[in-house]
């Protein structure tokens, strides 16, 4: 979706662009500066809408029509959203498409019924964030940021959006779906409750601005704490504390915040703010309107100002606060410092015989400071010394974190009471996992909340000691076991099996793969070479076998896969259950089995068999391994084995060369994708393959292990087994997959559609088959264009 598509207006729709010549725009583009409901009234001016969209950008944008109707429903006085919505749905209910706006109107009535306090000033932004959080068909945060940047560079592009088009069913359906929020918010009270979870309680006089939780560095730090055995207990508590923490993370001075649009107009104000249209009245009418407070004035929005303050956390390290209470104290402190919405600076002091500044920014710092212990029983002297010092910071918030029993000490009580005006928050801990938060407000201590942590549950699975291999830079992006398409069958194999009519391969990478053969193909002209062979899916990985000797495959009564292995040089027969990892073996030195014997499967047992010998060695499938010598051979064994060998030999030519070493990935000067020296290129109609790249790369992707990221944020994730995953920064482009095969035609697939060589199409697939050209245009070319447009 482009910028103009997001703001596109439509014929006979419930909103439109209009121009108010009396109010110049803020961007130098004065036309189409007003959003309005046809025949009803104004919704809001464009500058205000853009300010709203900037606030919503971190979590992504909802459908534009839905946003406008919610803003309109927030207005005071008479509003009519039912009429325009009914008119629009009736107009577009044609043929098989029948729309009904009853549920959407019901939801807008709830917004209308909200008390005004929840629809004014900063609460209005919070309300919009709650309503449209994780909504359907929303524009991603990155795309929204890009649209804002484009708008302020070229606002005149909105002129194309103002030209009305006919709205297809998908357009109206998108707006209606975004407004159908009755299940999430069945009552007006449910909306209020959701906001109370978002906003600090009114009596605390703190406005909290909700922002999208994007503090990746904080999250990574918490993960590091959890993975380190010495800080595991602290780290495992932090997210649980976050989930219930009600400490305000930002303080806002509301300033003068009109609520925008038609509501941004007032009947009181300075003459220089009066609408020019008022001066068009006759003198007598004009004076009457002014005298009776009926003249309209425009009032510009003044954004809220953020108070810059510093937090100081005082952690009790006395003997009484040792053990579990101390772990809770450090977890509480880090939860406040590293909270995803925290913007203030924080200083931490460990209170013992004196106040010692400490850092909690690194795992090593946390380990070191957790070991701090003071010989004193209580820290009243260090606490009093801290408050007697001169703190000249503009605004400070002091937290004191201690054991609950310490608050029964008279000395500690006296110091806390004497400094209650400067000690804003008191946090107490207990040995059984309880944390209580108190706030000093206007001389009184108010209990804010109690968090009860299930310590036994949270500390149940501590990590093992880290190995040296863990200290690599960055981590490999996790890969799925399988994809919507098949892997290319590898050339290097340990062996291959035929079991009950199905083909299996034990690869040199110690994977058990399943494949199939057929001559059922949908495009003989382009893919005749692959009419028989197909790719494979992974059943098991990291199988603990040595690539030597002879193998056979079967299933036991529980349908578990069993691999039997015969190593003649070691006189060893072994059996491995791939599902349970159960292993058993038997040394057969005393049986004097010739080297020429083959390992086969027949009739619910494994056999060591040789064509010219009548003696067989039977190996059981169920239970621990046992070997039984049989002197009389069943003729069916020979017949079955001959047929199985002929069938499995058909797999001999099924392997393909796989690109599995990835270094440079980028886009060359002809705007084709380059993967490790191979250009992804369409040489003829409905085909796609890799050929040697001969051209300079003009845009490179940055590598982090197996993930390659382009400047716009688009990603290619490589899998050495032979699949590339494409994730565009434009979330309207679905995630798609292409095999990394050096020779032969390729395929391109999403989770629902498939195009290209049937070699990669699963045997029992529900993917819709499309032409390769169509799939390339919709996904691969769009992926590349998104990257190029960002560079432009």
Query: 339-359 pLDDT, tens per residue?
Result: 877 766 788 888 888 888 888
Task: Determine which of 89-103, 115-129, 229-243 has the lowest per-residue pLDDT on average.
Answer: 89-103
- Three-class DSSP category at 731: coil
DSSP 601-635: EETTEEEEE-TT---EEEE-SSSS--EEEESS--H
User: pLDDT tens digit string along 677-730?
Assistant: 999 988 888 889 999 998 999 999 999 989 999 988 899 999 999 999 999 887
For residue range 654-672, list pLDDT tens digits in order: 888 899 889 889 999 999 9
Judge whether 375 and 288 are in contact, CB under 8 Å: no
Residue 205 within any structural domain of the chain: no
CB hemisphere CA count around 150 (13 angstroms): 16
Nearest to 27 by CA among 11, 43, 50, 8: 50
Same domain, 607 and 701: no
480 belongs to a structural domain: no
- pLDDT class of 193 with cuts at 50, 70, 90: confident
Domain CATH for 335: 3.40.50
If asked whether residues 451 and 540 sit together in one domain, one would say no
Tell me the pLDDT band of 46, cut-offs 50, 70 and 90.
confident
Host domain of residue 161:
3-199
Within 8 A by CB and 6+ apart from 437, the residues are: 245, 246, 247, 425, 426, 427, 447, 448, 449, 450, 451
Q: Are residues 247 and 275 in the same domain?
A: no
The pair of structure tokens assigned to 525 is: 């002209």
Say if residues 623 and 581 touch (Cβ distance below 8 Å).
no
Rounded Cα distance, 339 and 237, in Å: 13
Confidence of residue 495 (pLDDT cuts 50, 70, 90): very high
Please write the tens of the pLDDT for every residue from 54-80. 888 888 888 888 899 888 888 877 778
End-to-end CA distance of the chain: 17
Whether residue 191 is contained in a domain is answered as yes
Confidence of residue 97 (pLDDT cuts 50, 70, 90): low
Report the percent of the chain where pLDDT is more than 90: 22
pLDDT band with cut points at 50, 70 and 90 for residue 487: very high
- Mean predicted confidence (pLDDT) in 173-196: 84
If asked whether residues 636 and 763 sit together in one domain, one would say no
> Looking at the structure, do residues 381 and 241 belong to the same domain, yes or no?
yes
Question: How many domains does the structure of the chain reveal?
Answer: 5
Do both 289 and 333 map to the same domain? no
Residues 63 and 187 placed together within one structural domain of the fold? yes
Residue 730: C-alpha distances to residues 144, 702, 723 (Å): 10, 18, 21
Going by C-beta distance under 8 Å and a sequence separation of 6 or more, which residues neighbour residue 53? 61, 144, 148
Q: How confident is the model at residue 206 (pLDDT cuts 50, 70, 90)?
A: very low
Q: What is the pLDDT of residues 538-547, one digit of tens each?
A: 999 999 888 8
Average pLDDT over residues 76-85: 81
In sequence order, which ranges of 97-186 are alpha helices (DSSP H)? 102-113, 121-131, 141-153, 158-162, 169-179
42 and 150 belong to one structural domain: yes
pLDDT for 357: 86
- Cα-flanking dihedrals φ and ψ of residue 702, to 5°? -85, 130
Q: Is residue 93 part of a domain?
A: yes
Residue 225 domain-assigned (yes or no): no
Residue 659 lies in a domain: no
Q: Which of 26-40, 151-165, 511-525, 532-546 has the lowest mean pLDDT?
A: 511-525
Q: In the predicted model, is pLDDT for residue 585 greater than 70?
A: yes
| Tens digits of residue pLDDT in 99-120 | 778 888 888 888 888 888 888 7
- The reported pLDDT for the residue numbered 33 is 81
- Going by pLDDT thresholds of 50, 70 and 90, the confidence category of residue 527 is very low
| pLDDT over 70 (residue 468) | no
Express each pLDDT in 620-655 by its tens digit.
Answer: 999 889 999 888 777 788 888 888 888 888 888 788
Is residue 144 a part of any domain in this protein?
yes
Average pLDDT over residues 223-247: 82
Distance CA 255, CA 272 (A): 21
- 169 pLDDT exceeds 70? yes
Neighbour tally for 129: CB within 10 Å: 19
134-148 tens-digit pLDDT = 776 678 888 888 888
Name the E strands within 251-376. Answer: 252-253, 265-266, 297-298, 305-306, 310-316, 345-351, 355-358
50 with 19, same domain: the answer is yes
Identify which has the larger pLDDT, 401 or 392.
401
530 pLDDT band, cuts 50/70/90, is low
Looking at the structure, tell me whether residues 87 and 236 fall in a common domain: no
Residue 67 lies in a domain: yes
Identify whether residues 59 and 148 lie together within a single domain.
yes
Residues 137 and 96 in one domain: yes
């Amino acid at each position: 979706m482009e910028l103009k598509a997001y703001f596109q207006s439509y014929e006979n729709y419930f909103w439109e662009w209009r121009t108010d010549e009396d109010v110049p725009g803020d961007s130098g583009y004065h036309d189409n500066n007003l959003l309005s409901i046809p025949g009803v009234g104004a919704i809001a001016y464009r500058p205000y809408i853009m300010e709203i969209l900037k606030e919503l950008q971190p979590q992504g944008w909802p459908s534009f029509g839905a946003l406008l109707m919610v803003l309109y429903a927030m207005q005071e006085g008479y509003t009519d959203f039912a009429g325009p919505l009914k008119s629009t749905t009736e107009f577009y209910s044609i043929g098989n498409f029948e729309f009904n706006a009853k549920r959407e109107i019901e939801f807008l009535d709830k917004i209308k019924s909200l008390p005004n306090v929840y629809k004014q000033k900063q609460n209005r932004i919070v309300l919009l964030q709650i309503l449209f959080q994780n909504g359907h068909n929303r524009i991603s945060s990155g795309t929204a940021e890009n649209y804002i940047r484009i708008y302020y560079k070229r606002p005149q592009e909105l002129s194309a959006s103002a030209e009305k088009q006919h709205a297809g069913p998908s357009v109206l359906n998108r707006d209606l779906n975004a407004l159908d929020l009755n299940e999430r918010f069945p009552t007006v009270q449910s909306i209020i409750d959701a906001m109370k979870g978002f906003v600090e309680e009114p009596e605390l006089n703190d406005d909290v601005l909700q922002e999208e939780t994007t503090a990746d560095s904080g999250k990574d730090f918490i993960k590091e704490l959890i993975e380190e055995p010495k800080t595991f207990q602290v780290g495992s508590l932090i997210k649980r504390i976050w989930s219930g923490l009600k400490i305000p993370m930002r303080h806002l001075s509301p300033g003068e915040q009109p609520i925008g649009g038609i509501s941004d107009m007032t009947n009181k104000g300075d003459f220089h703010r009066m609408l020019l249209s008022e001066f068009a009245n006759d003198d007598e009418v004009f004076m009457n309107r002014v005298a009776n407070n009926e003249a309209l004035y425009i009032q510009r929005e003044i954004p809220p100002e953020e108070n810059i303050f510093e937090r100081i956390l005082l952690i009790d390290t006395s003997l009484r606060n040792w053990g579990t209470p101390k772990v809770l104290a450090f977890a509480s402190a880090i939860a406040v410092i590293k909270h995803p919405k925290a913007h203030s600076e924080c200083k931490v002091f460990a209170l013992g015989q004196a106040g010692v500044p400490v850092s909690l920014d690194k795992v090593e710092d946390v380990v070191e400071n957790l070991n701090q212990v003071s010989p004193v029983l209580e820290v009243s002297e260090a606490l009093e010394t801290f408050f007697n010092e001169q703190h000249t910071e503009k605004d400070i918030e002091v937290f004191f974190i201690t054991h609950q029993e310490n608050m029964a000490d008279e000395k500690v009580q006296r110091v806390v009471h004497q400094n209650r005006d400067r000690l804003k928050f008191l946090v107490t801990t207990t040995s059984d996992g309880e944390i209580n938060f108190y706030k000093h407000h206007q001389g009184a201590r108010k209990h804010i909340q109690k968090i009860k942590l299930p310590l036994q549950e949270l500390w149940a699975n501590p990590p093992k000691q880290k190995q040296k291999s863990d200290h690599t830079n960055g981590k490999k992006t996790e890969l799925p076991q399988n994809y919507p398409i098949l892997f290319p069958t590898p050339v290097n194999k340990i062996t291959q099996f035929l079991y009950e009519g199905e083909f299996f391969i034990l690869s040199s990478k110690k994977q058990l793969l399943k494949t199939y053969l057929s001559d059922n193909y949908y495009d003989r002209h382009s893919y005749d070479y692959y009419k028989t062979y197909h790719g494979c899916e992974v059943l098991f990985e990291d199988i603990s076998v040595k690539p030597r000797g002879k193998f056979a495959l079967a299933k036991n009564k529980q349908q578990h896969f069993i691999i039997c292995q015969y190593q003649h040089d070691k006189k060893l027969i072994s059996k491995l259950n791939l599902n349970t990892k159960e292993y058993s073996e038997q040394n057969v030195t005393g049986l004097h089995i010739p080297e020429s014997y083959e390992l086969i499967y027949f009739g619910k047992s494994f056999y060591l068999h040789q064509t010219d010998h009548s003696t067989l060695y039977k190996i059981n499938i169920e239970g621990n391994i046992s070997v039984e010598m049989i002197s009389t051979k069943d003729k069916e064994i020979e017949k079955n084995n001959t047929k199985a060998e002929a069938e499995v030999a058909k797999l001999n030519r099924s392997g393909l060369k796989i690109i599995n070493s990835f270094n440079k990935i980028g886009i060359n000067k002809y705007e084709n994708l380059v993967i490790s020296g191979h250009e992804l290129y369409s040489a003829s109609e409905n085909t796609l393959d890799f050929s040697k790249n001969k051209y300079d790369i003009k845009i490179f992707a940055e590598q982090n292990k197996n993930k390659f990221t382009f400047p716009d944020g688009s990603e290619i994730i490589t899998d050495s087994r032979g699949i590339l995953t494409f994730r565009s920064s434009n979330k309207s482009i679905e995630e798609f997959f292409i095999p990394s095969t050096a020779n032969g035609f390729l395929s391109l697939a999403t989770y629902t559609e498939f195009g290209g060589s049937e070699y990669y199409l699963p045997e029992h697939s529900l993917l819709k088959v499309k032409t390769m050209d169509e799939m390339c245009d919709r996904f691969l070319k769009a992926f590349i264009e998104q990257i190029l447009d960002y560079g432009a």
